[in-house]
Structure 1
Amino acid sequence: MDNLAQLLKESWTLVDDHRDRLAGYFYARMFLSDPSLRTLFPVQMDGQRDRLLEAIVTAVQTIEDPEHFDGYLRSLGRDHRKYHVRPEHYEVMGVALLDALRSAAGQRWTIEYDQAWRDAYDAISARMQAGAATDTNPPYWDAEVLGHERRGPDVAVLTCRPLQHPLPYQAGQYVSIEVPRYQARLWRTYSIANAPREDNVLEFHVRAVGAGWVSSTLVRRVRVGDLLRLAAPMGSMTLDRTSTRDVLCVAGGVGLAPIKALAEEMAGWNRTRWMHVFVGAATRDDLYGLAELSALAAEHPWLSVIPVCGADPGFPGERGELADVCARYGPWTTHDCYVSGSVPLVRSVLRALAADDVPPEHIRYDAFGDV
């Protein structure tokens, strides 16, 4: 396994600077081999290309951790049921992926690299198919929007409820969302912002990002009564109830969503562990969810909430970069640490925790991109 991981990492460096070419060739080769596969994907493919590469990089990065590797890929297989992927599609995808890697790497590609990727893809596809085959849930859940509240020009808080079956998940996980009325076959991932509830209501925090097709639709077009589709839950940023360590949570922007869910879950059973939550934004107006967290902290003495503004000189609380403020309150060496937010934010907090000698196994995060 060590040699396989080394070959995968070495070969990936040959194509890492050519991701657009790699993704473009992969989809072109796949659709040429089986034109019917094109109907499974959205008309606009740019975002889909990014998600393919994220999945590949994550799989390569976790192959040295068998438990994480297996769990991630089984979850990914369950998630891909929403695309109506069948077992025979995996062979077509594997051929397309190998051809795309050879094309992007050029003459530096070797027989050893080729065999390593064949072996890796066999392992990846086997675990994804196993995850899909053993899943007894529906491919996705239809959910009705119950509430839609704007929290600023670009942020909305939505609540919805699955129509037929409850969606089983753990606090801290995320799901893919499709808005079939406006953006069919276009899925984007969003963290669930509340712990599981008896009424099966789910809350999501969404920021409209640039010209983002799904995020802009969820913030600006979706209304109460609209239907969403929710895919199977994924993510490992969940609480370890067997741990006795105190908890540190760091959230930037709408990264607050899974952190809020974790705090709500702890409120249901915790009596002995302290939870410190750092919430960062540019200005006080961007701290859209502070009121709910502060109300929860008022009910539970073990929960402390520290708001941080990076570009608001008149803010009465902590000011500066979120990672720097968090580091000043340390050390966090004996804590379970949870980090959520943009890729740059997560990267900066991980550096601060590493400098604080926090063991990597005590850190959990879900960033939708390379960290």
Structure 2
Amino acid sequence: MESTAVSHIRTTFKALAAADDGGIGVTRSFYSILFAKYPGMREIFPAVMEMQADRLLDAIAYIVENLDDMDKVQSFLVQLGRDHRRYGITEDHFIAVGGTLIATLERFAGTELWTEEVDLAWREAIALIAAVMLGEINASDAPGVWTGTVVEHKQVLQDVAIVRLQLDQPMSYGAGQYVGVSVPSRPRMWRYLSPAIPANDAGQIEFHIRRVAGGWVSPAMVRGVTPGERWNLSAPLGSLGVDRTTGRDQLMIASGTGIAPLRAQIMEMAMRGNNPRVHLFVGGTYPCDLYDLETLWQLARTNPWLTVIPVSEETVNPWWHTDPAPVTPPGMSERLTGKLGEVVAEFGAWEDRDIQIVGSPSTVQTIKYRLQAKGTPMDNVRHDPLF
């Protein structure tokens, strides 16, 4: 897009966000207009719309922020289009959404701000978004939704469960990617989860799920699941994975259930004969939060290129956790105490490593800050989008 059009879009978006509680009112108004004019589209969306409105606003903000880097925008839109296969989206849906978004923006901007040039700039941007997303939706014969049966549900902590499913047909995903998951008790409400094992021809898949306080979906996944349930999964997304073209060794940093996509990568690497060195830091608040440590130690004992360093902020478990802590096997790193980012940074800048960080948005940002302060090149650091 031309710089003038980009400037018009950014100025409009900034003004609307500043005048309307960060833009939340715009997105909520957008959905009200959309459902009133196209009532058939309501069934695509979840019953509770607060999270959906936030996601729309975050997506628009990301696109607006990066309009002068079209490679970055296109990559994001390709992922977004792939994710929207699960809804059965067609060109008619894009026409309805695009027209409604223009009408909503114009209503909130007013005649003084919404000039002909601004209108043309937004229409160009929306046409670009629709073209890339629709192209990705139509580019693949892969299913929009996979279905699977829960075969095991294991409660490993009060707020963490491991769930294993048998898919009706295998899903091809890269170790490190994530998928949207919907459970029968929360129809049309999706939670993104990373498989904890590599893809396989048998259609087996495993998720590590933490209950999010105030969440709509995760409590049902952690506490309300029984074997035999039927789950829906969307197309795999994300770009995490071991980049072998760089020739660099790996630093992997996981907080809590963020271990899942990194463990899947390590398991996949264990099937190969030649691998770079991997230092894996896995952290939690309490020692018990390192629930998958024994599995990681087993991987390290049989793969000399892997070093696992456990980290916890507290030295002892909370009173309500009565299971004994795992005994550190000979040759394995003892658990360190401290905040994960600070501990990793104490080892140095890791400037010769490719670095992956997985955890909550706040945790990822904190670890990045600690590494940057130590002198770590941020070009070497990767993580999934933080919204």
Q: Which residue of 1 aligns with 2:124?
A: 119
Residue 103 of structure 1: CA displacement?
4.7
Task: Provide the identity percentage.
Answer: 35
Separation in 1 of the partners of 2:70 and 2:248?
Answer: 25
Q: Which amino acid aligns with 2:294?
A: A
- Residue of 4, 21, 44 corresponding to 1:40: 44
Aligned pair in 2 of structure 1 residues 105, 274: CA closer, same or farther (>3 Å)? farther
Taking structure 1 as the reference length, the TM-score comes to 0.91
Q: Which amino acid aligns with 2:132?
A: R
Does 2:97 match 1:96?
no
Structure 1, residues 33-73: CA drift from partner, whole Å, max 9, x if none?
21111111111112222222232233334444433322331
Q: Which residue of 1 aligns with 2:167?
A: 162
Bigger mean CA offset, 197-206 vs 64-73 = 64-73
Q: Which residue of 1 aligns with 2:322?
A: none
Q: Which residue of 2 aligns with 1:208?
A: 211
Does 2:367 match 1:352?
no
Structure 1, residues 178-233: CA drift from partner, whole Å, max 9, x if none?
11x21111111111111222322111111111232211111111111111000001
Gaps of 5+ in 2: 318-324, 326-333
Q: Which amino acid aligns with 1:185?
A: R
Structure 1, residues 233-290: CA drift from partner, whole Å, max 9, x if none?
1111122122200111111111111111122222222634111111111101111122
Gaps of 5+ in 1: none
- Residue of 254, 259, 263 corresponding to 2:257: 254
Structure with higher Rg: it is 2
* Helix, strand or coil at the partner of 1:161: strand
Bigger mean CA offset, 183-192 vs 71-80 = 71-80
Structure 1, residues 12-43: CA drift from partner, whole Å, max 9, x if none?
33344423212211111211221111111111
Q: How many matched pairs?
A: 367
* Helix, strand or coil at the partner of 1:186: coil
Taking structure 2 as the reference length, the TM-score comes to 0.88
Q: Which amino acid aligns with 1:312?
A: T
Q: Which residue of 2 aligns with 1:300?
A: 303
Aligned pair in 2 of structure 1 residues 12, 253: CA closer, same or farther (>3 Å)? farther
Q: Which residue of 2 aligns with 1:337?
A: 355
- Give the conservation status (yes or no) of the 8 Å contact 2:181–2:190: yes
Bigger mean CA offset, 86-95 vs 111-120 = 111-120
Separation in 2 of the partners of 1:219 and 1:287?
Answer: 17
Aligned ranges 1:69-88 → 2 under 5 Å: 69-88=73-92
- Give the conservation status (yes or no) of the 8 Å contact 1:246–1:274: yes
Q: Which residue of 2 aligns with 1:323?
A: 341
Aligned pair in 2 of structure 1 residues 81, 129: CA closer, same or farther (>3 Å)? same
- Give the conservation status (yes or no) of the 8 Å contact 2:30–2:101: yes
Structure 1, residues 342-369: CA drift from partner, whole Å, max 9, x if none?
1111111222333344444322111442
Q: Which residue of 2 aligns with 1:137?
A: 142
- Give the conservation status (yes or no) of the 8 Å contact 1:333–1:356: no
* Helix, strand or coil at the partner of 2:143: coil
Q: Which residue of 2 aligns with 1:282?
A: 285
